[in-house]
Chains A and B, each alone.
Chain A
């Protein structure tokens, strides 16, 4: 294992400390228990937005703390959900009295820990709502799985719900638009290589030189199936097709197309994927009205990408365009 680290057990501590130093103008970092809050939190009269999850997906979630997006982020150990004793103080810190929404990716651990924290916050008098993100079409949503995972769609939920909270929407309205984004977004990912969790010291799975893994999540877990390597256009079609059919996209739809890097894939390759996906959507008469291309929800140094498509309506588009000023996403502000 070759990594730019000092001690495998200090990876999250030291990284979050550095993040706080780098972005002291935007965020305040608390070390024990560990959480990150918007510097001017709580914002008077505004609904608070808190998300979190295992570390290793940077810039998610800490990178999205700031004006127009999250009020707090709670980082767990690498690929391990945070604990209620972190989530609770983060929740209390951003409650202005207008209530707090938890944005939770659908993984057993995240759901259990955020549920517990929400109960505790409620007991302290905070009005709570939660938005569960489960956009991964690689997982069959059935009684026989833990349900679809939250992946790329999480970034879009955080941005759009964040903009709704920033413009002064009520607690129920912010949660409702978050749910609406989740219902309108689907994702699918591919890995060319596995990633290595620092404290595990070895890759999570092994792919031969000519193999790729289709339907991966963001925790270094293997995907649904393994196939021989293909070219970028072929892989794009494999990822896009289930997303489009699951969303039931039709000619005339407006979408946001988000090509996300898993951490180890160059931006140039992401644009090759984007090119094909945009062409394919255009051929179906779907208008790509907004785009996002880059490493926004990663899996450490994994090579690969995911394709996320969000069916837009006018309100979502306006909220996407609204000003945002965070360490990892900034426009109009």
Chain B
């Protein structure tokens, strides 16, 4: 069975809850290597997404993600707004107007999201950014889709787990993109907040499919 509109709406609702629950944690992660705004911005952005989805209910998963993209782009600001905005927009395009998402489409959407972030932010693996959560997530999702019999839950779970490990993997990295890069080697030993918010959002996708 594929993923449907209810899953998408539940995913976005759980993402909003995760951003509210982890607002302080994301601010704290951003404090030493950024500017203490990531948790506040993501919470504000996803609260706006929740309001927007209630105001104009979408009819397909793709439409839900597109509305999310537009809202994040107009409400979040900073680097996270355009990056997550692009990610959700590219994913929405990959989903098209399908009512049900199978494993192959899901992997294509994750890949499109990651490619969008890389294109906009110009960061690569190892730069200590959200790309370090997205790239292992896409790789793991691709492998899971090939290994399983098209079970979307297994794909989502593999992506979330890899993103979480990817976020942890940013600890020893020296930042080469974004505001943390100004610190040079002093950025070592801190976890990238964007990688952490990515892992939270992908984990919410698993919860929504439960």
Contacts and interface: CB of A to CB of B under 8 A. Distances in A.
A217 B74 contact: no
A204 B34 CA distance: 9
Looking at chain B's contact residues, is the secondary structure mostly helix, strand, loop, or mixed?
Answer: helix
Contact of A108 (B27, B33, B40, B177): B177
Contacts of A222: 32, 183, 186
Interface in A137-175: 138-140, 143-146, 149
A312 to B, nearest CB: 28
Nearest to B121: A108
B41 interface: yes
Nearest to A33: B74
Interface string A108-123: 1100110010000000
Interface size class of A (residues with CB under 8 A): 35 or more
B184 interface: yes
B182 A200 contact: no
Interface string B132-169: 00000000000000000000000000000000000000
A26 interface: no
B31 A83 contact: no
A109 B176 contact: no
B35 A219 contact: yes
Nearest to B82: A112
Given A79-B37, A109-B82, A221 B183 contact: yes
Contact of A202 (B31, B121, B186): B31
Nearest to B32: A205
B96 interface: no
Contacts of B77: 54, 76-77, 80-83, 109, 113
Interface in A204-237: 204-205, 217, 219-222, 224
B130 to A, nearest CB: 12
Contacts of B44: 77
B186 A197 contact: no
Contacts of B27: 199-200
A200 B82 contact: no
A282 B178 CA distance: 38
B36 A79 contact: yes
A222 B183 CA distance: 7
B75 interface: yes
Interface of A is mostly: loop
A83 B186 CA distance: 30
B31 A146 contact: no
A199 B179 contact: no
A146 B81 contact: no
B114 interface: no
Interface in B29-49: 31-37, 40-41, 44
A78 interface: yes
B70 to A, nearest CB: 9
A107 interface: yes
Contact of B40 (A83, A84, A200): A200
A85 interface: yes
Nearest to A146: B181
B73 interface: yes
A166 to B, nearest CB: 30
B31 A80 contact: no
A140 B181 CA distance: 10
A143 B176 contact: yes
A89 B101 CA distance: 37
Contacts of B37: 54, 77-80, 197, 199-200
A81 B81 CA distance: 9
Interface centre among A78, A79, A140, A149 (most CB of B within 10 A): A79
Given A82-B77, A108-B177, A113-B77, A139 B83 contact: no
Contacts of B120: 112
Interface of A: 33, 54, 76-85, 107-109, 112-113, 116, 138-140, 143-146, 149, 197, 199-200, 202, 204-205, 217, 219-222, 224
**A-B pairs with lowest CB-CB distance, top 3:** A112-B82, A200-B36, A85-B74
